[in-house]
Each structure stands twice: as structure tokens, then as C-alpha cells.
Amino acid sequence: MRLGLNIDHIATLREARKIHEPDPLEAIFIAKNAGVDLITLHLREDRRHIHEDDVISILKHAPLPINAECAIDPEITKILCALKPFKVTLVPERRAEITTEGGLNLKHPKLQDTIKAYADCGIEVALFIDPSLENLQRALELGVGVVELHTGKFSNLFNTLYTSFKRHKNRLDLPEDNIALKNMLELSLQELAQSALKGQGMGLEVCAGHGLNYASVGLVAKLEGISELNIGHAIIARAVIMGLEKAIQSMQEAICAP
């Protein structure tokens, strides 16, 4: 199981003051020493955290492969095709969202051309999808070899049931009844499990991520067929308290826990 560290929220902290620190690049060397396998970052259209200068600096100096998340956007495509990260993961994006809210629209009219643009530059393309057989089949038709299953639904349900996140459930339009929530959580985990196995059987490399934390990650890490987890906010949040290296090590332990 590879671990990808999403460093967006190091840049979020920097942007709170619009200054030069903390520098996301510094975290990558700590991550490498702690055993992280790749770095994920999201170059958003609104540049709310990661900027082009970050991507340029990180690609020049980072000792780890870089997975660049991005929307289907001509300007971003042009930038990343020139910079050539190891992998590009295409994700949906809305200016008003707090964080990515779901999987990519696989019928987007510009999706096929965007995939081709990256592939022609020798960049591996992954699609960030909601777990379903239909989406896996569509990914195959589009000619990609990698998908990342969106675990946001699972994470929201888990957090609503088992953490202080309960106070946010009205925003998510979730039921009040814990039995109903548990049934929804079980179904969500089954959807992830089935999609991981089916994707692997189709010859796709299956990754997963979004909203996973120290308490919930073990359930997803145990699913057969998933080769990579991308996690950011939970690790960076804990790093504020205990330091990045220890936060990464704690996540690795949670992933590997029996």
C-alpha cells in the first residue's frame, strides 16, 4: 500500500498570512525520510493554496514522485503539460466548495481531449471517480490506466457516527438516526470494496482518498485491490500538534494496523 501525502494544507497555512512560510517543499524531505511514497498537490483554478511557483519548485527539487490534482481547465492543462509531473489526477472543482465534493463527471465534453493532452506529454493520467462499475467501465473506455476512488462519502458517514463531526451532519443532509447512518456507512464501504476488486480485475490500478483520517483509514486500507492511499488534511492537522514526521508515522501505523 503506497502512501501519498497531500501537502495542500501546508500552503493553506501560508496563504492565511500571504507570506513565504511554511514552504510546502520543506515538508517533502521530511516525508521522504518518513517513508512516504509520493506527494500529492492540487493546483486549483482559484489558487487558494498551491501556486504555480510551488509546483515549479517542488518538481525541480522533490526527491519523490509528484501527483498533481487538477480540474479540466485549458490553462491548468497547459501549465502542467509544460511542467510534467509524474501523474495528473483529474478532479471536479467548484469555486464555492470547501473541498472536492465528489467524483469527476466522466461525460465532461473536454475530458477526452484533456486526457490526450497529458498522455501526449508522457504524463500518467488518473481519474478521481465515485465508486461504481459504470464509472470504472467509462474510465477504461477513456483509455486511462489509473483511477482514484473518492472516499468522501464514506469519510463523512464515519465521522458523523464516531467523531464530533456530528454537528456538521445537517449540512450534509444526513439522517439523525444512528442505525440508518451505520447502514449507509456499511453500504458505502461495500461500494468501495466492490469497485476496488472490479477495477483491479479490469486491469486498472486503483487508488483511493479523500477525508480519510487516523480512525477511518484502516477500514479502507484492508480492502483488496487498492494500491495507493492519498491523505492530506488529517496528517497535516496532526502535524501541527506533534510534528510532521510523527504524524506520518502514526498514519502508517493506522494503515497497517490488524
Q: Which residues are catalytic?
A: 42, 69, 210
Show Cβ contacts of residue 5 under 8 Å, excluding neighbours closer than 6 positions.
Answer: 27, 31, 36, 38, 39, 40, 230, 231, 232, 235, 248
- Residue ranges of alpha helices (H) inside 62-177 are 74-83, 111-120, 133-142, 152-162
Distance CA 235, CA 97 (A): 21
Angle between helices 133-142 and 111-120 (to 10 degrees): 50
Distance CA 165, CA 160 (A): 5
Cβ-based neighbour number of residue 146 at 10 Å: 20
Cα–Cα separations (whole angstroms), residue 200 to 69, 88, 197, 203: 22, 20, 5, 5
The answer to whether 68 touches 41, Cβ cutoff 8 Å, is: yes
Cβ-based neighbour number of residue 250 at 10 Å: 16
Helix (H, G, I), strand (E, B) or coil at 40: strand
The answer to whether 50 touches 14, Cβ cutoff 8 Å, is: no
